[in-house]
Amino acid sequence: MEEYELEHTGCARQEAVLVRGGNRLCGELTVQGAKNSTLPLLAAALLCEGETVLHNCPALSDVHTAVTILRRLGCRCTHTGDTLTVCADGMTRCDIPHSLMREMRSSIVFLGAILSRCGEARLSFPGGCELGPRPIDLHLEALRKLGAEIREEHGCLLCTAPGGLRGGFVSLAFPSVGATENLLLAAARAKGTTVLTNAAREPEIEDLAGYLNRCGAHIHGAGESCIVIEGVPHLYGSTYTVMPDRIAAATYMAAAAVTGGTVLLRDVNSEHLLPVLSAFESTGCAVMQSGSELLLRAPQRLKPVRHVRTMPYPGFPTDAQAPVMTMAAVGDGTSIFVENIFESRYKHAGELNRLGAKIKLEGKVAVIEGVPQLSGAPVSAEDLRGGAALVIAGLAAQGETQVMHPQYIDRGYAHFEENLRALGADVYRI
């Protein structure tokens, strides 16, 4: 086993993704492991004695950041292919520096694990894509219900659990995925039983609970709105396979759809994609599922998406909003999107308009009038999913499109341009 040295795919500002549109995407593609599952699983490894072996870990800059955090804390991380091995037995620190916390919003998920393992934690506020206010108050209030004492000094969170974490009753004001994950991590080794209501129901929550239970935790009800965690004194590392990335799957489906293509996706969980399938079917795409495979066959011209409202799972995922909006932009008719999760998740809309789309924004509502053709132009990615959406738009545009700041795309998509080229796209990093 060699030391885990994933190449940091964060890019200099002068780099871009060059897309030459007009090619119809066809072929087969294996979907990567889920970014939004890998990160909390890596945090969970801090709670375990012995080695954790995670298969299907995607090569992402966010995963690189998470591994850097683990090594900073004193963990040993090694890799072979898409398998990551983490041993936290040598953990010596309970703090994460500002520079690493600012790399990604998901870094806050380490709080519950460090606090549970060490009885104290020192972190700055997290960074990541600027999608509007994403307060971590829910995380902090929930941890306080388990006995944590938290105060803020000079932009840092100073957290202690003088008597150790203790089970309690926690009701979230909003079914936050991150707050639910932090509670699972903190309560897994707390004394007594924790009852969490209005919990997030996303598949990634089930994946985290599945791993923790394999390590010896007693978690019941993950995937439902009420989760019961019976604390245990010890957890032991195990081998686990990260679930498929449902957002990456939806992104490649959108790429095939805007080009009138036919794509077979392997290693998908179609049940996780149910909230987005109706959007694809409304555009005239034929979607066929068989086991862990999904086939999408797009018509020559898409119909409108009609109406999309982002909601917590099992509603339409906010992370799929931007790629699906690109489908609506070239659909034959009017579509309406309502973004109910993040306030600033329409940054890609103005860039899509630079390519010839007709999108009007009013608060959390976007009205999209489909156009027959987009035209290539320089555009700029402002966040992860919006960046992927702009590349997809470039696939459907005439001429060349340059998408600046591709480091955002690298946060959530492994080998993005390479995968698109395998399907017939003319796309390169320059």
Tell me which residue range forms the domain holding 274. Answer: 2-32+244-429
Give mean pLDDT, residues 124-136: 57
Give the residue ranges of the annotated binding site.
Answer: 35-36, 105, 134-138, 319, 341
The DSSP bridge pattern shows strands 426-429 and 16-20 to be antiparallel
pLDDT value for 153:
86
Query: 195, 220, 241: which is the final residue of a domain?
Result: 241
pLDDT value for 163:
87
147 & 171 share domain: yes
Q: Mean pLDDT lowest for which of 102-116, 200-214, 273-287, 378-392?
A: 102-116
237 & 355 share domain: no
44 & 136 share domain: yes
Name the token pair of 406: 């591709």
128 & 179 share domain: yes
317 & 399 share domain: yes
Which residue type sits at 141?
A: E
Residue 299: asked if its preceding bond is cis (omega within 30°), the reply is no
pLDDT value for 325:
98
Give mean pLDDT, residues 260-275: 97
Query: 199, 216, 241: which is the final residue of a domain?
Result: 241
Please list the active-site residues.
129
Q: Mean pLDDT lowest for which of 44-48, 73-77, 97-101, 348-352?
A: 97-101
Give mean pLDDT, residues 100-104: 84
Give mean pLDDT, residues 299-317: 96
19 & 65 share domain: no
Quickly state the pLDDT bin for 130 (edges 50, 70, 90): very low
* Cα–Cα distance, 38 to 77 (Å, whole number): 14
Give the E-state strand segments of 97-213 in sequence order.
120-124, 149-153, 156-160, 169-171, 193-197
Q: Look at 157 and 114; give whichever has higher pLDDT.
A: 114
pTM for this predicted structure? 0.94
Kindly report the CA angle at 120 between 116 and 122, in degrees rounded to 5?
Answer: 120
Phi, psi at residue 306, to the nearest 5°? 80, -85
Give mean pLDDT, residues 316-344: 95
Quickly state the pLDDT bin for 177 (edges 50, 70, 90): very high
Give the E-state strand segments of 292-407 in sequence order.
293-297, 307-309, 334-338, 358-362, 365-369, 374-375, 378-380, 397-398, 400-404
The rounded percent of the chain whose pLDDT value lies above 70 is 95
Query: 192, 211, 241: which is the final residue of a domain?
Result: 241
Measured between alpha carbons, how far is residue 343 from residues 308, 339, 366 in Å?
16, 7, 12
419 & 282 share domain: yes
* Cα–Cα distance, 6 to 298 (Å, whole number): 36
Torsion of CA 147, 178, 410, 412, to 10 degrees: 140
The rounded percent of the chain whose pLDDT value lies above 90 is 87
CA quadruple 55, 264, 421, 396: dihedral sign: negative
Give the residue ranges of the annotated binding site for UDP-N-acetyl-alpha-D-glucosamine.
Answer: 105, 134-138, 319, 341
* Cα–Cα distance, 326 to 256 (Å, whole number): 12
Give mean pLDDT, residues 78-103: 93
Q: Domain count for the chain, please give it.
A: 2
Look at residue 324 and tell me whether its pLDDT is greater than 50: yes
100 & 55 share domain: yes
